[in-house]
């Protein structure tokens, strides 16, 4: 059976770009992309997380029942990860979690460029919860809403790049982490533009899940 990449929001176009990134990151593994059709179209705050949790746990349970080798929860906020793990015997990892641990394994200090300012406390809290704050420069908002990444990719990419450049200039970092599953589609472009490594959580998770 395959690894299941669950997009816990209901925007199927995001699932497509996430799956493409995962498959490219670990070509020898088999991935399926599932969309959580009963969830909100984007997860941008605790109310969205609450609404997205029950259908997410239901999908993880289904994945387990169908013998999934591993599950990736493909939202950078790593919603309900502990509960999701209890629904499946296989490895269940988050894309935020994977990005932070990749940087930690390399010994890198990083900044995160995420979407809206409202997303900052959750990301900061997760990094603190994982125990990895010593690697954190700063969590920065690009002021690009999640869905703008789908709708006007070019403009969104430019704004993410600007904030990432500020992070490089000001935060004394070794790497930039892209703080939204939807940014998978601009990772390539950013790598040509930034002088430090760019970590994408989907890519990191797709590689980790196959070796855990």
160 contacts 183 by C-beta, under 8 angstroms: yes
CB of 13 to a copy of itself, least distance (A): 25
Stretch that binds a copy of itself, among 10-18, 49-57, 154-162, 183-191 (CB under 8 A): 49-57
Would you give the DSSP letter of residue 135? G
Burial class (CB within 10 angstroms; exposed 0-12, middle 13-18, buried 19+) of 133:
exposed
What number of chain residues touch a copy of itself (CB under 8 A)?
A: 50
Burial class (CB within 10 angstroms; exposed 0-12, middle 13-18, buried 19+) of 207:
middle
CA end-to-end distance (rounded Å), the chain: 16
Q: Examine residue 86 and tell whether it contacts a copy of itself (CB under 8 A).
A: yes
Q: Examine residue 87 and tell whether it contacts a copy of itself (CB under 8 A).
A: yes
Q: Which of 1, 12, 30, 50 binds a copy of itself (CB under 8 A)?
A: 50
Q: Examine residue 27 and tell whether it contacts a copy of itself (CB under 8 A).
A: no
Residues in the chain: 212
Stretch that binds a copy of itself, among 7-15, 42-50, 146-154, 156-164 (CB under 8 A): 42-50
Q: Examine residue 159 and tell whether it contacts a copy of itself (CB under 8 A).
A: no
Q: Examine residue 106 and tell whether it contacts a copy of itself (CB under 8 A).
A: yes
The CB density around residue 142, as the number of other CB atoms within 10 Å, is 27
Biggest alpha carbon distance in the chain? 48
Residues engaged in binding a copy of itself (CB under 8 A)? 26, 28, 45-50, 53-54, 57-58, 80-87, 91-93, 97-98, 101-102, 104-107, 109, 117-118, 120-121, 125, 128-134, 172, 207-208, 210-212
């Amino acid at each position: 059976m395959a690894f299941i990449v669950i997009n816990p929001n209901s925007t199927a176009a995001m699932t497509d770009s996430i799956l493409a990134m995962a498959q490219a990151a670990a070509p020898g593994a088999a991935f399926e992309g599932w969309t959580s059709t009963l969830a909100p179209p984007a997860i941008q705050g605790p109310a969205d997380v609450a609404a997205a949790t029950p259908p997410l746990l239901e999908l993880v349970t289904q994945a387990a029942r169908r013998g999934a080798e591993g599950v990736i929860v493909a939202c950078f906020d790593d919603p309900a990860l502990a509960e999701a793990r209890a629904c499946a015997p296989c490895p269940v990892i988050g894309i935020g979690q994977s990005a932070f641990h990749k940087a930690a394994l390399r010994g890198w200090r990083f900044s995160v460029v995420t979407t809206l300012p409202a997303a900052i406390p959750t990301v900061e809290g997760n990094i603190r919860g994982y125990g990895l704050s010593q690697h954190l420069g700063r969590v920065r908002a690009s002021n690009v809403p999640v869905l703008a990444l789908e709708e006007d990719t070019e403009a969104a990419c430019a704004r993410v790049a600007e904030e990432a450049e500020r992070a490089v200039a000001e935060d004394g970092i070794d790497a930039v982490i892209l703080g939204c599953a939807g940014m998978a589609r601009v990772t390539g472009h950013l790598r040509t533009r930034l002088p430090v490594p760019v970590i994408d959580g989907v890519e990191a998770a797709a590689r980790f899940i196959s070796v855990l």
